[in-house]
Structure 1
Amino acid sequence: MHRSRHFIPGIITAGFIFVFVAASLVGLLSHSSSFNPTALWSDTYYRHITLFSFYQSFISTLLSVVLAIPVAHALSRRHFFAKKMLLKLFATTLVLPVLVGIFGLLAIYGNSGVISDIFNYFDKQLPFSIYGLNGILLAHVFFNLPFAARLFLQSLQSIPTEHHKLSAHLGIYHWNKFKLIEWPVIRQQLPHVCGLVFMLCFTSFATVMALGGGPKSTTIELAIYQAIKFDFDLQSGALLALWQMFLCAGLVLYIQSFSKVIAVTSEERQDKLPLFADSKRALLWDVSWITLVTLFVIPPLLMVIFSGINTQFIDVVTGWHFWSALGNSFVVATFAAFIALAAGMLILISSRRWRLLGLRFRADKLELIGTIILVTPGIVISTGIFLLLRNWTNIFDLALVIVIVVNALMALPYVIKTLAQPMLHIAQQYNLLASSLGMSGPSRFYLIEWKAIKKPIIHAYAISFVLSIGDLSAIALFGSQDFKTLPLYLFQLLGSYQMESAAVVSLFLLIFSVGMFAMMEKLMLKNNDK
Structure 2
Amino acid sequence: MLTPAEHRAARLGGWFGIGLLAAAIGIPVAALLAGSTGAGFGVDPYLLRITRFTLLQAGLSTALSIALAIPLARALARHPALPGRSLLLRLFAIPLGLPPLVAALGLIVVWGRQGIVNAGLLRLGVDQPVSIYGLSGILMAHVFFNLPLATRLMLMGLERLPAEYWKNAAILGMTRANVFRLIEWPAIAQLAGGAAGLVFMLCVTSFTLVLVLGGGPAATTLEVAIYQALRFDFDPPRAVLLALVQIALTSAVLIALRVLKSPAEEAPQLGLSPARPDVAPGLPALADRVLILASALFVIAPLAATLVAGLRADLVRILTDALLWRAILTSLAVAAAAAATSTMLALLLVRARHSVAESQTAFAGRILSWLAGIAGSLVLLAPPVVMGAGWFLLLSGATRALALPLMIIVLINAMMALPFVIRVIEPAHRTAMSRNGRLCLSLGVTGINRLRRVDLPALARPLATAFAFAMALSLGDLGAVALFGGDRIVTLPWLLLQKMGSYRTADAAGIALILAVLCMGLMALSDRTGAGREAARP
TM-score by length of 2: 0.90
- Quote the RMSD (CA, aligned, Å): 2.4
Distance change >3 Å, CA 200–CA 67, structure 1 → 2: same
Q: Select between 194-203 and 232-241 the one with higher mean Cα deviation.
A: 232-241
Counterpart in 2 of 1:218? Answer: 220
Counterpart in 2 of 1:9? Answer: 13
Partner letter of residue 52 of structure 2? L
Counterpart in 2 of 1:276? Answer: 276
Does residue 73 of structure 1 match 2:74?
Answer: yes
Q: Is the 8 A contact 1:389 1:395 kept in 2?
A: no
Rounded to whole Å, the distance in 2 between the matches of 1:323 and 1:246 is: 40
Q: Select 1:466's aligned residue among 469, 472, 488.
A: 472
Q: CA deviation at 1:120?
A: 3.4
Structure-to-structure mapping, 1:3-42, within 5 angstroms:
3-33=7-37, 39-40=41-42, 42=43
Distance change >3 Å, CA 116–CA 75, structure 1 → 2: same
Q: Is the 8 A contact 1:333 1:404 kept in 2?
A: yes
Rounded to whole Å, the distance in 1 between the matches of 2:272 and 2:231 is: 54
Partner letter of residue 54 of structure 2? S
Partner letter of residue 507 of structure 1? L
Q: CA deviation at 1:169?
A: 3.2
Q: Is the 8 A contact 1:220 1:244 kept in 2?
A: yes
Rounded to whole Å, the distance in 1 between the matches of 2:33 and 2:157 is: 44
Q: Is the 8 A contact 1:454 1:524 kept in 2?
A: no
Counterpart in 1 of 2:323? Answer: 321
Does residue 509 of structure 1 match 2:510?
Answer: no
Q: Is the 8 A contact 2:167 2:273 kept in 1?
A: no
Partner letter of residue 407 of structure 1? N
Q: Select 1:422's aligned residue among 414, 428, 439.
A: 428
Counterpart in 1 of 2:108? Answer: 106
Q: Could you say what secondary structure the match of 1:462 adopts?
A: helix
Q: Is the 8 A contact 1:304 1:503 kept in 2?
A: yes
Q: Is the 8 A contact 1:396 1:478 kept in 2?
A: no
Counterpart in 1 of 2:536? Answer: none
Rounded to whole Å, the distance in 1 between the matches of 2:169 and 2:512 is: 49
Q: CA deviation at 1:103?
A: 0.6
Rounded to whole Å, the distance in 1 between the matches of 2:241 and 2:273 is: 53
Rounded to whole Å, the distance in 1 between the matches of 2:168 and 2:462 is: 36
Q: CA deviation at 1:447?
A: 5.4
Q: Could you say what secondary structure the match of 2:444 adopts?
A: coil
Rounded to whole Å, the distance in 2 between the matches of 1:511 and 1:262 is: 35
Counterpart in 2 of 1:268? Answer: none
Q: Is the 8 A contact 1:76 1:274 kept in 2?
A: no
Structure-to-structure mapping, 1:383-398, within 5 angstroms:
383-391=389-397, 394-398=400-404
Q: Is the 8 A contact 1:174 1:276 kept in 2?
A: no
Counterpart in 2 of 1:401? Answer: 407
Q: Could you say what secondary structure the match of 1:131 adopts?
A: coil
Q: Deviations over 1:462-482 (max 9, x none)?
A: 321211111000000010112
Counterpart in 1 of 2:248? Answer: 246
Counterpart in 1 of 2:505? Answer: 499
Structure-to-structure mapping, 1:83-232, within 5 angstroms:
83-122=85-124, 124-232=126-234
Rounded to whole Å, the distance in 2 between the matches of 1:308 and 1:273 is: 46
Counterpart in 1 of 2:268? Answer: none
Counterpart in 1 of 2:369? Answer: 363
Partner letter of residue 243 of structure 2? A
Percent of pairs with identical residues:
36
Q: Is the 8 A contact 1:351 1:363 kept in 2?
A: yes
Partner letter of residue 61 of structure 1? T
Q: CA deviation at 1:402?
A: 1.3
Q: CA deviation at 1:192?
A: 0.7
Q: Is the 8 A contact 2:110 2:302 kept in 1?
A: yes
Rounded to whole Å, the distance in 1 between the matches of 2:372 and 2:489 is: 35
Q: CA deviation at 1:446?
A: 5.8
TM-score by length of 1: 0.91
Q: Could you say what secondary structure the match of 1:32 adopts?
A: helix
Q: CA deviation at 1:421?
A: 3.1
Q: Could you say what secondary structure the match of 2:96 adopts?
A: coil
Q: CA deviation at 1:429?
A: 4.3
Distance change >3 Å, CA 25–CA 433, structure 1 → 2: same
Partner letter of residue 58 of structure 2? S
Q: Could you say what secondary structure the match of 2:427 adopts?
A: helix
Counterpart in 1 of 2:535? Answer: none
Q: Select 2:342's aligned residue among 315, 336, 340.
A: 340
Does residue 56 of structure 1 match 2:60?
Answer: no
Q: Is the 8 A contact 1:458 1:524 kept in 2?
A: no
Distance change >3 Å, CA 55–CA 350, structure 1 → 2: same
Q: Select between 172-181 and 244-253 the one with higher mean Cα deviation.
A: 172-181
* Structure 1 segments of 4+ aligned residues over 6 angstroms from their partners: none
Counterpart in 2 of 1:236? Answer: 238
Q: Deviations over 1:403-438 (max 9, x none)?
A: 111101000011112333332343344433333333
Distance change >3 Å, CA 235–CA 125, structure 1 → 2: same
Rounded to whole Å, the distance in 1 between the matches of 2:52 and 2:264 is: 29
Counterpart in 1 of 2:437? Answer: 431
Distance change >3 Å, CA 273–CA 224, structure 1 → 2: farther
Q: How many residues align?
A: 515
Counterpart in 2 of 1:488? Answer: 494
Rounded to whole Å, the distance in 2 between the matches of 1:261 and 1:207 is: 30
Segments of 5+ residues of structure 1 without an aligned counterpart are 264-270, 526-530
Q: Is the 8 A contact 1:17 1:370 kept in 2?
A: no
Q: CA deviation at 1:177?
A: 1.7
Rounded to whole Å, the distance in 1 between the matches of 2:187 and 2:431 is: 26
